[in-house]
Amino acid sequence: MDRPHSIVTDIYTAQPRLRAVCSSGATVTLSDGKQYIDLMNGKGSVTLGHHHPAVNSAITHHLQSGQASVTCWSNLHEALTNRIIQDVGIEDARLALFSTGTEACRAAVQVARQFTGRHVIASAGYHGWGDYWARSNNLLEANASGVIDFYFVPELLEQVLEQHRGQMALVILSPDYVHLQPETLSRLAQITRHEGVLLCCDDVKQGYRAVRASQFPRTVGFHADLYTFAKGLANGHRLSCLVGRSDVMAAAKEFTYTAYFDTIPIVAALATMDYMDRHDGYQRLVQCGGALAAELRNIVRSRELPIMIYGDGPMLQIVGASEALDHALYTNCAMAGLLLYEGDNQAVSLATSDVFDELIKRFEVALTNTSRQFGRDESASVSRQRRFKASFRMIDGANDVVPFEEAIRWIKEER
């Protein structure tokens, strides 16, 4: 049993393709009656845990008090806006609210084009499903929307900026802290800055997870001109924003939508951010993710399976030496009661620590069953190409563990 038949969207869901019945904290009960430990967490949008009492209480009180409105501005909008701008730290910044990360990224493109009068966009990473981000026929060729993908490769970004000098409106990239070295992100930012092109840090996935707002400025040494945030804001409720330089953001004054004044996601965001601040949430997410990665690696070593755990923070990726091993691993994890985001990032929430020991036990069961199927193979390992493919699935781009020429060859194979 999977999605309702009449829904056309073919959203990929984890094994065993059941439907959610209820959820609480770190667990989701599916229609087979079993309680699964959740590491998908709404593709990383649930940072506190499902139905967190702080968020539920804030929304319930807001509704019962009659304060909810979708007709005009509220003090809550101002409180959240001021808070995000303060967290980001750009002087005299402005902000625009949206419902999804896809919308915020689209807005970044549009304000950059209006502000600069230029059209070409250089992109790395996943920014949503819209036609802006469709792949072109050839490497470094603009698609129909004027977007060129440089796949996080500094040499490719340099080529794009040189070939389109005077035409470039924006460089937009999604920072990754699992498969990319900080030096690579810094180099990409420096290249963009040197060319005088606007830079957008698409922090829909990573923002408000390890730190307030963005890790990007402390990683590269200076601010991007624009930032997008979404998944870390409101514990799974629909909310995103574009924030940045006031002169650039002035171009967004006409960007609006029907639910712009909806206060429920605003309340959820304020409650989520309050809880994270008061309970060392960002530090705890990082520590839990690091501890989980270490324990998973210990189990993998004890079973002598060619599986790698990439990442040491709030997001991890589990990668086997072959597609067959990956399939067996995820199947056995599902049978052991783990709800994973297959082939992509696993995201811890603050509630993960409450079930940490049980999570490890279930992973041990899954690995034991997997080892019975594959046995010990001292010659097997996760090749650089396998890691490259895994990173491509997670960040829509190349990792930086292979030489430039090799990366280009594999990018062409993955396109």
Q: 20-52+280-382 maps to which CATH number?
A: 3.90.1150.10
Sequence letter at residue 330 = Y
Structure tokens at 285: 């997410």
Structure tokens at 304: 């002598």
Q: Report the alpha-carbon distance of residue 399 to residue 176 in Å, rounded.
A: 9
Helix (H) or strand (E) holding 199: strand 199-203
Q: Report the alpha-carbon distance of residue 150 to residue 415 in Å, rounded.
A: 12
**8 A C-beta contact, residue 203 and residue 227:** yes
Q: Which CA distances in Å does 67 have to 60, 201, 282, 386?
A: 11, 34, 30, 52
Q: Report the alpha-carbon distance of residue 78 to residue 20 in Å, rounded.
A: 35
Judging by beta carbons within 10 Å of its beta carbon (0-12, 13-18, 19+), is residue 137 exposed, middle or buried? Answer: exposed
**8 A C-beta contact, residue 179 and residue 382:** no
Backbone angles phi, psi at 121, to 5 degrees: -120, 130
Q: In the prediction, which pLDDT does 12 show? A: 65
Q: In the prediction, which pLDDT does 110 show? A: 98
- Name residue, tokens 């009492």: 53
Give 69-278's CATH code, choosing from 3.40.640.10, 1.10.1660.10, 3.40.1080.10, 3.30.1390.10. 3.40.640.10
Regions in the chain scoring below 70 on pLDDT: 1-2, 12-15, 376-379
- At residue 383, the 3 state secondary structure works out as coil
Radius of gyration of the chain (CA): 22
Q: In the prediction, which pLDDT does 6 show? A: 78
Nearest Cα to Cα of residue 288 among 36, 108, 39: 39
Backbone angles phi, psi at 178, to 5 degrees: -105, -50
Q: In the prediction, which pLDDT does 13 show? A: 67
Q: In the prediction, which pLDDT does 162 show? A: 97
Domain ranges for the chain, please list them: 20-52+280-382, 69-278
Backbone angles phi, psi at 195, to 5 degrees: -85, -5
Q: In the prediction, which pLDDT does 379 show? A: 53
Q: Report the alpha-carbon distance of residue 123 to residue 377 in Å, rounded.
A: 40
Other C-beta atoms lying within 10 Å of the C-beta of residue 402: 16
Other C-beta atoms lying within 10 Å of the C-beta of residue 203: 26
Q: In the prediction, which pLDDT does 2 show? A: 66
- At residue 171, the 3 state secondary structure works out as strand
Q: Report the alpha-carbon distance of residue 339 to residue 143 in Å, rounded.
A: 36
Q: Which CA distances in Å does 247 have to 77, 86, 91, 97, 112?
A: 21, 17, 11, 17, 10
Q: In the prediction, which pLDDT does 18 show? A: 85
